[in-house]
Structure 1
Amino acid sequence: MVFEKVCKILADQFGVAENSLNMDTAFIEDLGADSLDLVELMMSIEEEFDIGEIDEAEAASMKTIGDLVRRIGEDD
């Protein structure tokens, strides 16, 4: 369920098909995200999952959808 919600957010933000995303999809290399995109993504994730603030260093360490899904799962 976390993966599906993350994919929906990414699909909306980056204009890609949800079914084209997988756990290995990289934000920068595959989706072409820049630093502003990543900030907006983290804000959307924080709001959607009510997980509090993801600090800048932690956000920078997340490179793929899988990294993000695992981070959200830690708060469940």
Structure 2
Amino acid sequence: MADNKKTEIFNKVSEIVADHFDVDRAKITDDLNLKTDLDADSIDFVEFVLELEDTFGEEINDEDAEKLSTIGEVVDYIAEHTAN
């Protein structure tokens, strides 16, 4: 069941990344680095985090957001911090 939840989260996060950073959805993997692979600046990253919060209804504090580098880390964080 947890794998289904993570797959669902990954799909939603991928949509956000594809739209926000104009990236081909097929190129989005767990290992994709938000800061280096997407060349996201701090404003892009903050907007991305805000969009995640809106989508998943969960606040991501600044300290935690700083630690999120890859899509996989974002998916794991959301899976751990959202209700089933």
State the TM-score, normalized to the length of structure 1.
Answer: 0.95
Q: Deviations over 1:15-59 (max 9, x none)?
A: 0111101000000110001100110001000000111x2111100
Corresponding residue number in structure 2 for 1:73: 79
Q: Which runs of 5+ in 1 are unaligned?
A: none
Which residues of structure 2 form unaligned runs of 5+? 1-7
Q: Which runs of 4+ in 1 moved over 2 A?
A: none
The counterpart of 2:66, out of the listed 57, 60, 71, is 60
Match of 2:34 among 16, 27, 31: 27
> How many matched pairs?
75
Distance in 1 between the 2:78 and 2:60 partners?
Answer: 10
CA distance in structure 1 between the aligned counterparts of 2:26 and 2:9, rounded to whole angstroms = 15
Q: Secondary structure at the match of 2:74?
A: helix
Tell which structure's C-alpha radius of gyration is larger: 2
Percent identity for Structure 1 against Structure 2: 37
Write the mapping of 1:13-24 to structure 2, written as runs, cut at 5 A: 13-24=20-31
